[in-house]
Amino acid sequence: MKIPQKSVLKMDGYDIAAGQNIFNLLGAFAAEGKFSSVIILSDETVFKLYGAQIKNVLPDAKAIIIPPGEKQKNLNTLAKIWRKMFRYKADRHTLLVNLGGGVICDMGGFAASAYMRGIKFAQIPTTLLSQVDASAGGKTAVDLDGAKNIIGAFYNPSLVLIDVNVLKTLPPRELQSGFAEILKHGLIKDKKYFEEAAALSHAKMPPEKMIKLIQGSNKIKSRFVKLDREEKGPRKILNFGHTFGHAVETLSMKTKRPLLHGEAVALGMIAEAKLSVLEAGLSEEEFTKIKSAVKNHGLPLKYKQAKKSAVLNLITKDKKNKGQTIKWTLLNRIGKAIYDEECNPQNVSAALEEIL
Ligand SMILES: NC(=O)c1ccc[n+]([C@@H]2O[C@H](COP(=O)([O-])OP(=O)(O)OC[C@H]3O[C@@H](n4cnc5c(N)ncnc54)[C@H](O)[C@@H]3O)[C@@H](O)[C@H]2O)c1
Ligand SMILES: [Zn+2]
């Protein structure tokens, strides 16, 4: 398949292509792969907006459409997807195309990983968050009783196709949510990237700049993924902000206005940056910079709805832990992270107070 090479990043054995008006590349990829059939998985909102464009390049594809939202990322929906694939006579040579945000990418990836012991899939991420983080890297999952990503697999896509034009219809709150993961990528690996991203304004960001930003994030992510595909070591660094983040996200799912994933990660990054001040030598000055960056992107600094005891209870169940010991990813400074850190419980509690 011919993809302009300047727009391609090599991930762990597959391409991530980013650009504008590049859905046609999916048609070329599907034709080249000689798949027995193609099934599109999408949510109602995204399919209404972009389903016709995808059907245009994949005219024979069948579609499975689910309601939007994190609440759908569960075993019930997954079973419905598998049943529908089976009814559509999907076989081992079927291609699954995930068209949507991180929910569709995560759940579709997992659906592909286990259907007939594994079929090929392509990711067409349509939120900023999924374009910079959730679509590539091979982590696929669904939630279990509201707990994040408990059932899943490491399973790589065959292609990730990122068209920034779809971001034009993305609600501002969803765009802000994506910036949380972008800031995270800078914080853990690249101070310059962090400072550039921290200063950006969302309004009228030219597509070329957006493409560069998305490629920058994927480049940072790919370095960790290539080092450690199954997260036994350094890949854990990509989880910065996600221990506290997943806990507040899980708690918020029971409320009328759940946090978006990026909002929860922003809160988690603030608390874990505070923990880094207490445990890993991050300076107060850099901590303040991190809070300003989060604020600049319209992301929350506080989540008063959560009870401290409930958050602390949830982090002990986090799948990143070993036994009862909580392992943290912390920052020595902006651009330098460490992982598998054990922390003093009093400091953990004090860090959490920063966001409550
Ligand atoms: N696998 C990974 O490595 C990884 C990394 C980060 C996050 N995640 C997961 O990603 C999920 C969050 O993803 P998300 O933030 O993309 O949420 P999402 O998939 O729920 O999408 C957010 C909302 O935006 C709508 N939408 C999507 N694209 C749109 C568009 N172009 N125009 C208008 N509306 C659009 C969707 O219908 C949905 O309502 C979480 O479950 C998180 O755990 C996974
Ligand atoms: Zn995340």
Q: Which residue puts its alpha carbon closest to atom 7 of ligand 1?
A: 134
The verdict on the CB of residue 137 being under 6 Å from ligand 1 is yes
Closest ligand 1 atom to Cα of 141: 1
Q: Give the whole-number percent of the chain exceeding pLDDT 90.
A: 91
Q: Which residue puts its alpha carbon closest to atom 2 of ligand 1?
A: 134
What value does the mean pLDDT of the chain take? 95
Look at residues 216, 226, 239, 228 and name the one whose alpha carbon lies nearest to residue 11.
Answer: 226
The verdict on the CB of residue 354 being under 6 Å from ligand 1 is no
pLDDT score at 316: 83
Q: Give me the sign of the Cα torsion angle 105, 111, 117, 121.
A: negative
pLDDT score at 4: 61
Kindly give the distance from the C-alpha atom of residue 84 to the centroid of ligand 1, in angstroms, as a whole number: 22
pTM as predicted: 0.96
Q: DSSP letters along 247-273, please?
A: HHHHHHTTSSSPPPHHHHHHHHHHHHH
Closest ligand 1 atom to Cα of 139: 1
* Active-site residue, from 84, 120, 156, 231: 231
- Name the token pair of 206: 């030219």
Confidence of residue 8 (pLDDT cuts 50, 70, 90): confident
Look at residues 220, 354, 201 and name the one whose alpha carbon lies nearest to residue 287.
Answer: 354
Q: 54-69, pLDDT tens digit by residue?
A: 999 999 999 999 999 9
